[in-house]
């Protein structure tokens, strides 16, 4: 039955790809155009194609193909011009003036009239940012404008933003997909359905979306960016996504050459693909390339502090869990050495404010002592906690479950679909949960916002409902300091207070791991794991012939 399912799956994807190629390439032979179509799978699915609601990594990656903002990031997270060809900042650090390119056009749509498109103007950014602020829309990205006093189009090509107070990291916020430009006439025509009828300015334009089945983008023939030789970007003709929810099936499709790219590691295939020390196995070396690099992503377990469960309320138990398992051993056995054990705080390695001395080391005897102290103080002889995770992180949670059982704490592990877990976490429905936090921009402030009391979930990202007056004071103070060396000391102080209260269990600081077929070039890698296909090329894959 399993074999029959795999055959059916391969047949279905083959038919889908043939249909796509036929649609994309007119009367040309599929074999002549296959190298112009980049295919990959997104197992976590896509929620929206509206950048104002693009809050997950997978949503950001697809929106990155469709939309542009004033500025953008390169693979080293340097901030570069995008629709704004340049910008200036006033001496008081509060006013940002952007000069826009004159050759940026929205994707074609009949609502634009006889030319089917139109030039992007500064007024489009006024509309887009006002939309982001609209309380009726309730876009999750509205928070990026919290420090903004006002903004305006000075004329068609000059856009100005004024801040309430200086905030050195602000320009980084504008690189987020939330701040993409969208056309008023198209958004107002589709309303909430803009999520599935996107019109942007990006290197690719929307063609087709069958939710949970496939998503197709076509090359934007009027895209404004060129490479260093003056050649117009992008190089690819199309991008085709599938949405197989099973990572093992995704790996099989990749190994057989049916998709071009595989992201990250999963327990179902990691030992098949990698050696115990994280190297690509010889059997795949001729057909697959592997790249790995820093990833500004902290994986952690969190506690909901407003829980009525005594074990969750107890700092003794929360600290015991932090001391009670070996992170280095966990990474070696469960990740083949990919990633770094989180023995520091929540701020990951590579960001100013990271400090390896403020976290927890492996001390099993100390964990036992803390648990026994809890038993003595509360009279609870068999302490017990329920940890909720998605299936992709089940092995980590079971590892911690086994280790803490040795120390005298029973941990029950429940598995939820990722979307259900996100909703439950935001609404305080789970006492202990697995989660991750990926940097949106190169400043530790976006990590520490998770500890700020005014960001209580569901309205913000403080899923713990942690409130500390010193943390709030230091967090607000950081916005007034432009010198990064001074700011990082405040950041470390905030992180250390959160660790002292043990409101979370940092697991590991991740690495970006990407696998591509040998015929794929130019995908690159970056510390926020954003996909950028502008400079990707494909040649004919000889390894599958």
Here the tokens at position 146 are: 């919290």
Q: Who contacts 206 (Cβ-Cβ below 8 Å, separation ≥6)?
A: 49, 66, 107, 197, 198, 199, 217
Query: Which of the 8 DSSP states describes residue 284?
Result: H
Task: Give the C-alpha separation, 357 to 511, whole Å.
Answer: 21
| DSSP notation for 225-250 | -B-TTSPBSP--SEEEEE----HHHH
Question: What per-residue confidence (pLDDT) applies to 6?
Answer: 42
Question: What per-residue confidence (pLDDT) applies to 265?
Answer: 85
Over residues 169-195, the pLDDT tens digits come to 899 899 999 999 999 999 999 999 999
Angle at 168 (CA atoms; ends 162, 170), nearest 5 degrees: 55
- In order of their start, the domains of the chain are 34-247+519-538 (3.40.190.10), 294-511 (3.10.105.10)
Task: Give the C-alpha separation, 376 to 494, whole Å.
Answer: 31
* Contact by Cβ (8 Å): 128, 108: no
Task: Give the C-alpha separation, 308 to 267, whole Å.
Answer: 34
Task: Give the C-alpha separation, 100 to 270, whole Å.
Answer: 46
Here the tokens at position 510 are: 């991740």
Q: Identify the band that residue 7 occupies on the pLDDT scale cut at 50, 70 and 90.
A: very low
* Contact by Cβ (8 Å): 259, 40: yes
Residue 301 pairs in a beta bridge with 434, 505
* Contact by Cβ (8 Å): 311, 317: yes
Over residues 128-155, the pLDDT tens digits come to 999 999 999 999 889 899 889 999 999 9
Task: Give the C-alpha separation, 507 to 395, whole Å.
Answer: 13
Question: What per-residue confidence (pLDDT) applies to 484?
Answer: 79
Buried b / exposed e over 506-533, threshold 16 CB at 10 Å, is bbbbbbbbbbbbbbbebbbbbbbbbbbb
Q: Residue 539, class by beta-carbon neighbours within 10 Å (0-12 exposed, 13-18 middle, 19+ buried)?
A: exposed
Question: What per-residue confidence (pLDDT) applies to 543?
Answer: 61
Question: What per-residue confidence (pLDDT) applies to 544?
Answer: 57
Residue 506 pairs in a beta bridge with 300
| Cα dist from 388 to 153, 264, 301, 341, 360, whole Å | 47, 22, 9, 21, 22
Q: Identify the band that residue 209 occupies on the pLDDT scale cut at 50, 70 and 90.
A: very high
Q: Who contacts 24 (Cβ-Cβ below 8 Å, separation ≥6)?
A: 33, 36, 37, 218, 237, 238
Q: Minimal CA–CA distance to 534: which of 58, 38, 69, 119?
A: 38
Of the listed ranges 47-51, 55-59, 249-253, the one predicted with least confidence: 55-59
Q: Residue 74, class by beta-carbon neighbours within 10 Å (0-12 exposed, 13-18 middle, 19+ buried)?
A: exposed
């Amino acid at each position: 039955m399993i074999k029959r399912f795999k055959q059916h799956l391969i047949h279905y994807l083959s038919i889908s790809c043939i249909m796509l190629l036929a649609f994309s390439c007119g009367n040309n032979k599929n074999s002549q155009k296959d190298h112009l179509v980049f295919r990959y799978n997104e197992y976590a699915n896509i929620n929206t194609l509206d950048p104002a609601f693009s809050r997950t990594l997978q949503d950001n990656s697809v929106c990155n193909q469709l939309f542009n903002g004033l500025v953008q990031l390169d693979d080293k997270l340097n901030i570069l011009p995008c629709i704004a060809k340049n910008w200036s900042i006033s001496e008081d650090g509060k006013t940002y003036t952007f000069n826009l390119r004159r050759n940026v056009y929205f994707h074609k749509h009949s609502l634009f009239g006889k030319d089917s498109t139109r030039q992007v103007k500064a007024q489009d950014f006024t509309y887009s940012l006002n939309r982001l602020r609209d309380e009726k829309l309730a876009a999750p990205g509205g928070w990026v404008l919290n420090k903004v006093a006002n903004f305006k189009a000075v004329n068609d090509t000059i856009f100005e933003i004024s801040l309430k107070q200086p905030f050195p990291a602000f320009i980084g916020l504008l690189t987020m997909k939330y701040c993409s430009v969208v056309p008023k006439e198209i958004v107002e025509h589709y309303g909430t359905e803009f999520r599935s009828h996107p019109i942007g300015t990006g290197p690719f334009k929307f063609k087709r979306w069958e939710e949970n089945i496939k998503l197709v983008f076509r090359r934007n023939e009027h895209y404004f960016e060129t490479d260093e030789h003056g050649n117009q970007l992008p190089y690819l003709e199309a991008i085709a996504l599938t949405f197989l929810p099973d990572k093992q099936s995704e790996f099989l499709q990749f190994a057989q050459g049916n998709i071009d790219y595989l992201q990250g590691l999963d327990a179902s295939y990691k030992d098949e693909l990698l050696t115990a020390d994280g190297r690509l196995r010889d059997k795949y070396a001729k057909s697959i390339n592997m790249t790995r690099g820093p990833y500004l992503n902290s994986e952690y377990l969190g506690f909901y502090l407003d829980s009525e469960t005594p074990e969750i309320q107890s700092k003794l138990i929360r600290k015991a869990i932090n001391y009670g398992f070996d992170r280095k051993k966990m990474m070696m056995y469960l990740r083949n050495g990919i990633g770094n054990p989180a023995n520091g705080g929540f701020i990951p390695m590579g960001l100013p404010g990271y400090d390896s001395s403020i976290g927890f080391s492996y001390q099993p005897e100390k964990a036992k002592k803390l648990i026994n102290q809890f038993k003595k103080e509360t009279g609870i002889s068999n302490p017990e906690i329920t940890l909720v995770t998605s299936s992709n992180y089940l092995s980590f949670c079971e590892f911690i479950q086994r280790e803490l059982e040795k120390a005298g704490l029973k941990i029950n592990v429940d598995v939820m679909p990722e979307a259900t877990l996100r909703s439950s976490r935001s609404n305080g429905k789970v006492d202990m949960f697995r989660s991750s936090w990926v940097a949106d921009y190169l400043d530790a402030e976006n990590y520490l916002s998770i500890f700020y009391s005014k960001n209580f979930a569901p309205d913000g990202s403080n899923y713990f409902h942690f409130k500390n007056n010193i943390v709030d004071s230091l967090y607000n103070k950081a916005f007034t300091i432009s010198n990064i060396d001074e700011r990082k000391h405040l950041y470390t102080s905030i992180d250390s207070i959160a660790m002292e209260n043990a409101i979370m269990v940092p697991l590991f600081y991740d690495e970006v791991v990407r696998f591509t077929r040998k015929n794929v070039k130019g995908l690159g890698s970056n510390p926020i794991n954003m996909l950028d296909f502008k400079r990707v090329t494909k040649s004919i894959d000889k390894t599958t012939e």
